[in-house]
Chains A and B, each alone.
Chain A
Amino acid sequence: MKLIVAIIQPYRLEEVKQALYAAQVHLITVSEVLGHGRQKGVTEYYRGVKETGNLLRKVRLEIAVNENFVEPTINAIIKGAKTGKTGDGKIFVLDLKECIRIRTGDRGTEAIG
Chain B
Amino acid sequence: MNGLPVNTVDTLFVLISAALVMLMTPGLALFYGGMVRRKNILGVLMQCFAAMCILNVWWIMIGYSLSFAPSNGFWGGLGWLGLKNVGYAPMPDYSSTIPNRVFMIFQAMFAVITPALIIGAFAERMKFSAYLIFTLLWATFVYAPICHWVWGSGGWLKQMGVLDFAGGIVVHTTAGVAALVTTIIIGKRKNLNHSPAPHNLPLVVLGTGLLWFGWFGFNAGSALGVNEIAVNAFITTNTAAATAGITWSLLEWIRNGRPTVFGIITGCVAGLATVTPGAGYVGIGSAMLIGILASILCFIAVAVVKPKYGYDDSLDVFGVHGVGGILGTICVGLFASKAVNPQGADGLFFGNPHFLLTQATAVLIAALYTVIVTFLIYKFIDIFLGVRINEQEESIGVDLSQHREHAYTILE
Which residues of A are interface residues toward B (Cβ below 8 A)?
A: 10-12, 14, 32-34, 42-46, 55, 57, 83
Given the interface pairs A14-B191, A32-B410, A34-B411, the reply to whether A42 lies near B400 with Cβ below 8 Å is yes
Check if A44 sits within 8 Å of B392, measured CB to CB. no
A11: B residues at CB distance < 8 A: 392, 395-397
Min C-beta distance of B402 to chain A, whole Å: 12
Given the interface pairs A11-B396, A14-B395, the reply to whether A45 lies near B404 with Cβ below 8 Å is yes
Contact with A along B296-330 (1 / 0, CB 8 A): 00000000000000000000000000000000000
Check if B406 sits within 8 Å of A44, measured CB to CB. yes
A32: B residues at CB distance < 8 A: 410
A43: B residues at CB distance < 8 A: 404
Q: How far is the CA of A34 from the CA of B408 in the complex (A)?
A: 13
A14: B residues at CB distance < 8 A: 191, 395
Task: Indicate which residue in B396, B397, B405, B410 contacts A34 across the interface (CB closer than 8 Å).
Answer: B410
Q: How far is the CA of A55 from the CA of B406 in the complex (A)?
A: 13
Check if A44 sits within 8 Å of B404, measured CB to CB. yes
Closest residue of A by beta carbon distance from B397: A11
Which positions 371-412 of chain B face chain A at CB distance < 8 Å? Answer: 392, 395-397, 400, 403-406, 410-412
Min C-beta distance of A16 to chain B, whole Å: 12
Interface size on B, as a range, is: 10 to 19
Extra inter-chain contacts (11) besides given A14-B395, A43-B404, A45-B405, CB under 8 Å: A11-B395, A12-B395, A14-B191, A34-B410, A34-B411, A42-B400, A42-B404, A44-B405, A46-B405, A55-B411, A83-B392
Top 10 nearest A-B pairs by Cβ distance? A11-B395, A14-B191, A11-B396, A45-B404, A44-B404, A34-B411, A32-B410, A44-B405, A34-B410, A43-B404
Which residues of B are interface residues toward A (Cβ below 8 A)?
A: 191, 392, 395-397, 400, 403-406, 410-412
Q: How far is the CA of A45 from the CA of B402 in the complex (A)?
A: 11
Closest residue of A by beta carbon distance from B191: A14
Which residue, B191, B397, B403, has most C-beta atoms of chain A within 10 A?
A: B191
A44: B residues at CB distance < 8 A: 400, 404-406
Q: How far is the CA of A63 from the CA of B396 in the complex (A)?
A: 24
Q: How far is the CA of A34 from the CA of B410 in the complex (A)?
A: 8
Q: How far is the CA of A42 from the CA of B403 in the complex (A)?
A: 12
Min C-beta distance of B39 to chain A, whole Å: 8
B392: A residues at CB distance < 8 A: 11, 83
B403: A residues at CB distance < 8 A: 45
Q: How far is the CA of A11 from the CA of B191 in the complex (A)?
A: 11
Min C-beta distance of A46 to chain B, whole Å: 7
Q: How far is the CA of A41 from the CA of B395 in the complex (A)?
A: 18
Min C-beta distance of B287 to chain A, whole Å: 45
Closest residue of B by beta carbon distance from A51: B404
A33: B residues at CB distance < 8 A: 410
Q: How far is the CA of A43 from the CA of B411 in the complex (A)?
A: 19
Min C-beta distance of A14 to chain B, whole Å: 5
Min C-beta distance of A93 to chain B, whole Å: 26
B404: A residues at CB distance < 8 A: 42-45
Closest residue of B by beta carbon distance from A34: B411
Q: How far is the CA of A48 from the CA of B392 in the complex (A)?
A: 24
17 pairs from A and B in contact (CB 8 Å cutoff): A10-B396, A11-B392, A11-B395, A11-B396, A11-B397, A12-B395, A14-B191, A33-B410, A34-B411, A34-B412, A43-B404, A44-B400, A45-B404, A45-B405, A55-B411, A57-B410, A83-B392
B405: A residues at CB distance < 8 A: 44-46
Closest residue of A by beta carbon distance from B403: A45
A12: B residues at CB distance < 8 A: 395
B396: A residues at CB distance < 8 A: 10-11
Min C-beta distance of A108 to chain B, whole Å: 35
Q: How far is the CA of A98 from the CA of B294 in the complex (A)?
A: 58
Q: How far is the CA of A46 from the CA of B42 in the complex (A)?
A: 12
Closest residue of B by beta carbon distance from A44: B404
B395: A residues at CB distance < 8 A: 11-12, 14
Which residue, A10, A11, A46, A57, has most C-beta atoms of chain B within 10 A?
A: A11
Q: How far is the CA of A6 from the CA of B191 in the complex (A)?
A: 21
Min C-beta distance of B379 to chain A, whole Å: 29
Q: How far is the CA of A102 from the CA of B117 in the complex (A)?
A: 50
B406: A residues at CB distance < 8 A: 44
Closest residue of B by beta carbon distance from A31: B410
Min C-beta distance of B410 to chain A, whole Å: 6
Q: How far is the CA of A71 from the CA of B308 in the complex (A)?
A: 41
Q: How far is the CA of A83 from the CA of B400 in the complex (A)?
A: 18
B397: A residues at CB distance < 8 A: 11
Q: How far is the CA of A96 from the CA of B404 in the complex (A)?
A: 40
Min C-beta distance of B22 to chain A, whole Å: 23
